[in-house]
A and B are shown apart, each in its own frame.
Chain A
């Protein structure tokens, strides 16, 4: 047995930092993601394949007078799918699995703060979402003539909002389940509604105004709107502000809900 003496306060190496702690956790999560094949496949390939299945449908859409092109319809949808599958859906499973295995409780006995635990665990998924978004954008520009973004700041803002909002929504969703399987079921409603009604499959621009204005209130819609508008340049300042306000509101609400409802231990 080696030195079992207690800490010699001054001489010991390195005090941890928030960044270092989150990096250590993120590294472990990345290893785990690589070993969870089902989640990995869903996270990596669904967002890359799904957009191209839209192609035929979009070709038949009447986009005249909307300022949109095939590329600028598919691109934000593709990023939306990335947020839904690579970030939201996979993180719902991660949070639920770590909670059920008592990993979260164990982590909370250490130096990590609560937010560091949630953020560190989310990092690999967020990174995948970010890389996918960049790759998908490049692909849409190269293959679908999406063109250069007309108002890139809106697109960037939309993506950043999405990468904060969806991990938080995942944490909230995972709180309402008792197992990984249950968490996947709990994720379904938001996943399906977002896929169908947030301008991902069908741009809101070609829907009746009244319906569109209701769908604008969904959490994914402002992100899709900002990215689409950022690319096409057809977003008025008024509409942009509305989308930003909706996006920020959802993000704040999700973060608040995490504080309020997130469960660190399994229900007994």
Chain B
């Protein structure tokens, strides 16, 4: 198989999934993942992450569109795909009365080229728990056991559905380390998460899902860059918004005033901030409550949630009280610009 860096290990075209009740969980998504790449699917609960991953794993047939994993249809050509992939479901299922070692042994019997039991356990730091029944494991230990099973056959492609949910900070770090190591060893990884930090730190590329569609995609830097930075401050006593320098000239793309609080959005944070501070210096006023923050993945994420809910309810999610006008107005630039930057 050719590996000149352009081989698509996962290829998804206009994928759709409809559940029995008619609910359309995945509404036409397209993306591809190259060999050795780590791709993250981000999204709020119910965004369609798990529904998508299950189609890639071949657990269900899509209602429309096409999936190829390692060049095969994972549902129709299960036998060709399964020996080469490793799967960690969002909620792992193991018989609670088996011990950790018995669980691994069972899986090893069903996995081509399985690692030795002890090696698999060491990989996820469960070496000392091998004689313990699954029902006595903590939530985090169960997740790690699940990961050990996913890695048992040294898969070429790894699907991890929220691998660190339920882990403590240390367990999360160790899992990230392991996932990075696997990726560096050439494993292609597709992971879902709702931890933005996880996606920002691990992913080569990511897609933010919202209501079954890809709302933004690209490298973490690209997705973030599509977002405006924000500045907010309180107007000094006796000043009005009109007293500020012409905002458009400062690079401000959007602004809003609530009471005495002014909020600005800009794509050129340094220019806008400098101009504002120079103005304050000249006017000899103090900008109380001054808050300057550059765009982040979190911002991008919240922006998408806000945009989708029509700019009302979701404002609370951004922790930002304010009229809908701002959110609706601001939404255009951010998420839209992020669209189509994939590939």
- A residues bordering B, Cβ < 8 Å? 1-8, 12-16, 20-21, 23-25, 27-28, 31-32, 35-36, 97-98, 101-113
Contact = CB atoms under 8 A, between A and B. Distances in A.
A105 B106 CA distance: 15
Contacts of A13: 113-114
Given A27-B109, A109-B89, A7 B84 contact: yes
Interface string B151-168: 101111000000000000
Given A25-B106, A25-B109, A103-B95, A12 B154 contact: yes
A93 to B, nearest CB: 13
Interface residues of B, number: 45
Given A6-B154, A109-B87, A32 B95 contact: yes
Contacts of A8: 154
Contact of B93 (A24, A35, A101, A111): A101
B185 interface: yes
Contacts of B109: 16, 20-21, 23-25, 27
Contacts, number: 126
Contacts of B79: 111, 113
B98 interface: yes
A246 to B, nearest CB: 34
Interface string B106-130: 1111111110000100110000000
Contact of A16 (B93, B110, B123, B156): B110
A104 B59 CA distance: 11
6 contacts: A13-B113, A16-B109, A32-B97, A110-B82, A110-B111, A112-B110
Nearest to B187: A6
Classify the interface of chain A: helix, strand, loop or mixed. loop
A26 B114 CA distance: 18
A215 B82 CA distance: 46
Contacts of A105: 59, 89, 93
Given A32-B97, A106-B94, 13 more contacts: A6-B186, A13-B114, A15-B113, A16-B109, A23-B109, A24-B109, A36-B97, A105-B59, A106-B149, A107-B110, A109-B57, A110-B82, A111-B83
Given A1-B122, A1-B178, A24-B108, A6 B156 contact: yes
A14 B102 contact: no
A103 B89 CA distance: 11
B286 interface: no
Contacts of B181: 1, 4
Given A102-B93, A111-B110, A4 B59 contact: no
Nearest to B157: A6
Contact of A98 (B95, B154, B182): B95
B270 interface: no
A16 B181 CA distance: 27
A102 B94 CA distance: 7
Given A105-B59, A111-B82, A5 B113 contact: no
Given A31-B98, A105-B89, A6 B155 contact: yes
B130 to A, nearest CB: 15
A108 B59 contact: yes
A1 B95 CA distance: 27
B255 interface: no
B318 interface: no
Given A25-B106, A106-B93, A12 B178 contact: no
A105 B53 CA distance: 14
Nearest to B83: A111
A114 B325 CA distance: 54
Given A6-B155, A6-B186, A110-B82, A24 B110 contact: yes
A109 B87 CA distance: 6
Contacts of A110: 82, 87, 107, 110-111
Contacts of B98: 28, 31-32
A113 B77 CA distance: 11
Contact of B110 (A4, A7, A21, A98): A21
